[in-house]
Structure 1
Amino acid sequence: MRNYVPIQAPTIENPPPDSSYTYHEHLPSPPLTPYVACYWTLDYQASSLQQPLHRILPDGCVDIIFNLKAPAASTSGFITGLMSSYEAMRLTQDQSLFGIRFFAESVRPFIHYPASDFREGPVFLEEAWGLNVNQLNEEMVTALDSAHRMDLVERFLMGVLGQNNVRSEPLLEHGMQYLYAAKGRITVRALAEKLNYSERNIRRIFQKELGVSPKVMAEIIRFQYLLQELHQARLTRFPDIAAQYGYYDQPHFINSFRRLYGMSPKQALSDRSWNS
């Protein structure tokens, strides 16, 4: 059973409640939990006084996003592929987004294509699903609130799941379960031994289905697990984190964190007391 809860920067950075920038996450209904990590919303009201930096972290997931302020409903929905490095953007214009965060190994029944097809950049839902999706696009844009939008997407996703016979690649699913169980602390060689497949075969499947190697995916999962530890203050000393998560030493941990987050762990968690 998957025990993996991806976390994003706004949850870590926790903007003040009176901010013009808000981010919220909501859990899916039980039938969709094997596929969907969460639904999320991001809203920002442009202000000359506050132009926040919105940071997106690698989380091993694929997102369907609805831009609720798109000029045309037909271009409001799009798919973004798995990320292997962080992105940061300065918000200067009004934003209102609703997202569906899928586990990468479980998304194929919904998007009909391997997640690797979406690594090069966003793809409009219309291109992936055809004109039938335009009604959903329009309903999402005109819905009154997030609760209504969650109801819309849940009904749509359950319909897609029931109507097609596309299934995820079994070797990928099994491999990902081992990565989650090890919290990313597993070599490709050890993964191959557990799956009873060659390393070459495993690399080929991960690259074909996700667009990244199993080593990169393991690194993302390890980063996400330790991020949860830091966020929940279960570990507070960087040397302890480095040792528990298999880094060579503290500098190795900090450099890896900086590459995936865009800043050091001390900077990311500057509003708390951490021992470095």
Structure 2
Amino acid sequence: MTHSFHPVHSLKLQPELQQPWYNFREYPSNPRLESHVASFWTMDFRPVPGKPSHRVIPDGCIDIVVDLLSPSSRKAAYIVGLTTRSEVLQFSEARSLFGIRIYSESARSILKIPLSAFTGQRIYLEDVLGFKEMYWVEEILSATTISEIVAVAEYHLVRMLADSDIAMNPLVYESLQIIYGRKGNLSVTNLANQVHFSERHLRRVFNQELGLGPKEMLGIIRFQSTLQDFFRGGYSSLADLALKYGYYDESHFANTFKQYYGLSLRSLISKKRRSPIFPI
């Protein structure tokens, strides 16, 4: 089943960053995993003068990242939890990474513990799943093509989901489906009314399960949904785009954009107008 939410990432909006020394690509999952995995991705980087950076923006997902240059599987794979602000990573050494971007509601079944354990930090996969599960990371490190790497990841994700008897808190799961369906464009009060619980209880279970509150998750999904329209050019003006997603005005939209993206909306619009790949 296809997921209704599809996050956008910074390199789609900043194609000028794609250079021979810096390549980021995304790969779709097979139909069996579409409702669990937002995408697979690779990032290859060679250090060059000027200290180029890799921008990570909030997307409501968590990532399992495998360092393809690691000499050992035990420290090759780590988990990156939910984020609420953009992060700029500076690399001084060559990097070759493979990532699995997993929807929050499915990550609990795969990783067995609440996502709140990963908030604001990176944890080695071995410390979460145990040594017995690291053989599939060894298979990824031994693969010679990206298609082989994706095939290994898909096989083991399907297996792990089938074997799991652990699921996300039902209230958080139901709330996330509403948030996705409304593209984040509703208030915490409205969300609480729809799931028939108090705002206080909703905040408590969200923080226990995800490590962030419903307000933060609503903001991330709304921001990402807005980015989808911005990327496609599916709007007549920025004011209309802001109103469509419930921002008070264009200024409110710009301030929120800067918080989540780390760059001003004005600078991105300028890049968009100069880029032939963007619809105008």
TM-score class, shorter-chain normalisation, is over 0.9
Query: Matches of 1:132 and 1:79 in 2, distance apart?
Result: 17
Query: Matches of 1:56 and 1:16 in 2, distance apart?
Result: 13
Corresponding residue number in structure 1 for 2:115: 115
Does 1:36 pair with 2:40?
no
Query: Matches of 2:60 and 2:152 in 1, distance apart?
Result: 25
Q: Secondary structure at the match of 2:127?
A: helix
Residues 57 and 236 (structure 1), Cα distance of their counterparts in 2 relative to 1, 3 Å cut: farther
CA deviation vs aligned residue, 1:180-206 (integer Å, no higher than 9, x gap): 111111111111111112212211111
CA deviation vs aligned residue, 1:9-29 (integer Å, no higher than 9, x gap): 011111476521111111111
Query: Matches of 1:187 and 1:66 in 2, distance apart?
Result: 37
Answer whether contact 1:62 1:80 (CA < 8 A) is retained: yes
RMSD: 1.7
Corresponding residue number in structure 2 for 1:56: 56
Does 1:85 pair with 2:109?
no
What amino acid is aligned across from residue 88 of structure 1 in structure 2?
A: V
CA deviation vs aligned residue, 1:37-95 (integer Å, no higher than 9, x gap): 110111112223x6422100000001100011224221000111100111012233211
What amino acid is aligned across from residue 33 of structure 2 in structure 1?
A: L
Corresponding residue number in structure 2 for 1:136: 136
Corresponding residue number in structure 1 for 2:189: 189
- Compute the displacement of 1:131 (Å): 0.6
- Compute the displacement of 1:127 (Å): 0.4
Q: How does 1:198-217 map to 2 (within 5 A)?
A: 198-217=198-217
Give the stretch that moved more between structures: 221-230 or 63-72. Answer: 63-72
Corresponding residue number in structure 2 for 1:254: 254
What amino acid is aligned across from residue 95 of structure 1 in structure 2?
A: R
Q: Which runs of 5+ in 1 are unaligned?
A: none
Corresponding residue number in structure 2 for 1:172: 172
Q: Which runs of 5+ in 2 are unaligned?
A: 275-280
Query: Matches of 1:250 and 1:11 in 2, distance apart?
Result: 22
- Compute the displacement of 1:3 (Å): 1.4
Query: Matches of 1:59 and 1:69 in 2, distance apart?
Result: 26
Percent of pairs identical after alignment?
A: 33
- Compute the displacement of 1:238 (Å): 2.0
> TM-score, normalising length from structure 2?
0.92
Answer whether contact 1:66 1:76 (CA < 8 A) is retained: yes
Query: Matches of 2:183 and 2:242 in 1, distance apart?
Result: 14
